[in-house]
C-alpha cells in the first residue's frame, strides 16, 4: 500500500513511518518540514499533490498552539476533503483516551477532531492512546529541575510511543474500523509513583510532594478518566523499562 | 514556639503553596497531554 503519514516527522509519525516501511509499504512523509511532500494543515497547501495515489492516510499531526483547533479540527476537515478528492480508502486518526470525558480545552478539541473524522466522507479508524512515556518523562524532568517534584495527584497508564506506533501501523494495515481502538500502557500508576520511578531510575534527587489539583483536569487525573483498564492493545514497555532505554 | 508563631509558620507555608499552585496546575495539564503546557513547563 501507499501510506501518507501526516506529521510524519513528529514523535509518533516518524515511528509509524519506520514501522510501515519495514513492513514493505510505500511511505510518504507529509509535514511542514518534509523535503518532498511539504503540506500545511493550517491552509491545506500541498495536500492535493501529496495525496494523489495514496491508499491510506495516517494523521499523526499535533499542535502545540494555544488554539490547536485550527490544525486538529479545521486541518482534519481540509485533509479529509483532499483525501476524498484523491480517492483515499482509509483515514486513521490518532486521538487520546478520555478525550470525550474531560472538559478541558485540549481534550475538547481532540473530541471535536474525532467527530469530524467519524462524520467525514472517508472510511475511518480512530486509535485512542494514553499519554506517552516520552511526555510523562519530559514533564517530570521539567518539574524536578528545582529539586522538588510537585506532582498532581491522580492516575495515568502511560505507554511507550514506539508501542503505540506499532498499533497505529497495525490499524493502518487493516481495513477501516469505524470505531475507536484503544492502546494503553501495561500498568495503571499513581503519578507520584511514576515520579518515584523516575527518581530511582535516573538517579535524580528531588523531594516529592503530591497535591490534588482543583478543577476539571485535577478531577480527570484523580478519576481515572485518562486510563483504559481494558484497552484493545496493551503496550509491553513499562515506564521504568522506557526510562532505562533512553540515554541520560 | 508560641501559638502565634505557629500560625505565622502555617501562613508562610500556605503562601509558599499558593505561589506554587500555578506551577502545579501547569504540570497537571502537561501530564494529561496538553503540548502547549508541556512547552511552558520545560
Within 10 A of A154 (CB to CB), how many other CB atoms are there? 26
Per-state percent for chain B, helix, strand, coil, to nearest 5: 90, 0, 10
Picking from A62, A131, A221, the nearest residue to B28 by CB comes out as: A221
Q: For A196-204, what is the mean pLDDT? A: 95
pLDDT at A66: 85
pLDDT at A89: 98
How much is the mean pLDDT over chain A? 95
Task: Evaluate the CA torsion angle A108, A114, A119, A120 in order and state its sign.
Answer: positive
Q: What is the pLDDT of residues A118-132, one digit of tens each?
A: 999 999 999 999 999
Examine the pLDDT at A2 and tell me if it is beyond 80: yes
Q: How far apart are CA A111 and CA A95, in angstroms?
A: 8
Bridge partners (DSSP) listed for residue A59: A6, A93
Give a yes or no: residue B35 inside a domain: yes
Give a yes or no: residue B6 inside a domain: no
Binning pLDDT at 50, 70 and 90, where does residue B8 land? low
Question: Chain B partners of A60 at a C-beta cutoff of 8 Å?
Answer: none
pLDDT at A247: 76
Q: How far apart are CA A104 and CA B36, in angstroms?
A: 13
Looking at the structure, give the CATH architecture of the domain made up of residues A2-245: 3-Layer(aba) Sandwich (3.40)
Q: Where are the domains of chain A?
A: 2-245
Examine the pLDDT at B1 and tell me if it is beyond 50: no
Within 10 A of B18 (CB to CB), how many other CB atoms are there? 9
Binding-face residues of A in 143-162 toward B, CB within 8 A: 143, 150-152, 154, 156
B-chain residue closest to A191, CA distance: B31
Helix (H, G, I), strand (E, B) or coil at A92: strand
Share of chain A above pLDDT 70, in %: 100
Contact (CB<8Å) B41/A63: no
Give the residue, A242 or B13, on which the prediction is more confident.
A242
pLDDT at B4: 47
pLDDT at A42: 96
Contact (CB<8Å) A152/B24: yes
Q: What is the pLDDT of residues A51-78, one digit of tens each?
A: 999 999 999 999 988 899 999 999 999 9
List b or e across A180-215, with b for residues whose CB sees 16 or more CB atoms inside 10 angstroms.
bbbbbbbbbbebbbbbbbbbebbeeebeeebbebee
Contacts of B38 (CB under 8 A, 6+ apart): A64, A135, A138, A139, A142, B30
Structural domains in chain B (count) = 1
Q: Among all chains, which residue has been given the C-alpha cell 475507536? A: A180
Binding-face residues of B in 13-32 toward A, CB within 8 A: 17, 20, 23-25, 27-32
Q: How far apart are CA A245 and CA B32, in angstroms?
A: 23
Picking from A102, A105, A136, the nearest residue to B31 by CB comes out as: A136
Q: What is the pLDDT of residues A218-229, one digit of tens each?
A: 999 999 999 999
Q: What is the pLDDT of residues A33-54, one digit of tens each?
A: 898 999 999 999 999 999 999 9
pLDDT at B24: 87
Q: Does A210 touch chain B (CB under 8 A)?
A: no
Across A157-171, A234-248, B8-22, least confident range: B8-22
pLDDT at A12: 97
Q: For A127-141, what is the mean pLDDT? A: 96
**Shortest Cα distance, chain B CAs vs residue A111, angstroms:** 14
Q: For A224-247, what is the mean pLDDT? A: 96
Element housing B41 (H / E): helix B35-41
pLDDT at B2: 46
Give a yes or no: residue B34 inside a domain: yes
Share of chain A above pLDDT 90, in %: 88
Picking from A150, A156, A215, the nearest residue to B27 by CB comes out as: A150
Give a yes or no: residue B22 inside a domain: yes
Q: How far apart are CA A92 and CA A110, in angstroms?
A: 14
Which residue range forms the structural domain that includes residue B25? 12-41
Picking from A66, A68, A213, the nearest residue to B28 by CB comes out as: A213
Q: Please report, for residues A108, A197, A245, A246, the alpha-carbon distance to residue A151 in angstroms, rounded to integers and kept in the order given.
A: 24, 13, 23, 22
Give the residue, B14 or A27, on which the prediction is more confident.
A27
Contact (CB<8Å) A150/B35: no
Q: What is the pLDDT of residues A84-121, one digit of tens each?
A: 999 999 999 999 999 999 888 899 999 999 999 999 99
Binning pLDDT at 50, 70 and 90, where does residue A145 land? confident
Query: Which parts of B1-42 are beta strand (E)?
Result: none
Question: Chain B partners of A102 at a C-beta cutoff of 8 Å?
Answer: 32
Question: Chain B partners of A150 at a C-beta cutoff of 8 Å?
Answer: 20, 23-24, 27
Amino acid at each position: 500500500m501507499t501510506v501518507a503519514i501526516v506529521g510524519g516527522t513528529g514523535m509518533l509519525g516518524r515511528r509509524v513511518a519506520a514501522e510501515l516501511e519495514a513492513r514493505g509499504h510505500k511511505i510518504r512523509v507529509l509535514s511542514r518540514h518534509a523535503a518532498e511532500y511539504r503540506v500545511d494543515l493550517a491552509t491545506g497547501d500541498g495536500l492535493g499533490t501529496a495525496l494523489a495515489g495514496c491508499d491510506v492516510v495516517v494523521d499523526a499531526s499535533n499542535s502545540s498552539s494555544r488554539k490547536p483547533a485550527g490544525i486538529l479540527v479545521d486541518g482534519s476537515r481540509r485533509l479529509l476533503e483532499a483525501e476524498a478528492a484523491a480517492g483515499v480508502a482509509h483515514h486513521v486518526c490518532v486521538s487520546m483516551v478520555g478525550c470525550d470525558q474531560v472538559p478541558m480545552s485540549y481534550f475538547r478539541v481532540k473530541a471535536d477532531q474525532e467527530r469530524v473524522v467519524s462524520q467525514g466522507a472517508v472510511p475511518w479508524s480512530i486509535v485512542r492512546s494514553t499519554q506517552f512515556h516520552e511526555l510523562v518523562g519530559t514533564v517530570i524532568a521539567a518539574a524536578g529541575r528545582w529539586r522538588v517534584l510537585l506532582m498532581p495527584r491522580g492516575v495515568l497508564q502511560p505507554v511507550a510511543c514506539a508501542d503505540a506506533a506499532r498499533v497505529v501501523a497495525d490499524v493502518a494495515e487493516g481495513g477501516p474500523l469505524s470505531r475507536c481502538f484503544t492502546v494503553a500502557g501495561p500498568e495503571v500508576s499513581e503519578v507520584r509513583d511514576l515520579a518515584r520511578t523516575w527518581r530511582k531510575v535516573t538517579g535524580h534527587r528531588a523531594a516529592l510532594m503530591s497535591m490534588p489539583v482543583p478543577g476539571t483536569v485535577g478531577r480527570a487525573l484523580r478519576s481515572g478518566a485518562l486510563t483504559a483498564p481494558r484497552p484493545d492493545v496493551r503496550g509491553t514497555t513499562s515506564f521504568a523499562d522506557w526510562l532505562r532505554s533512553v540515554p541520560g | 514556639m508560641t501559638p502565634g508563631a505557629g500560625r505565622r509558620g502555617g501562613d508562610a507555608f500556605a503562601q509558599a503553596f499558593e505561589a506554587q499552585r500555578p506551577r502545579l496546575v501547569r504540570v497537571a495539564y502537561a501530564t494529561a497531554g496538553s503540548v502547549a503546557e508541556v512547552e511552558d513547563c520545560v
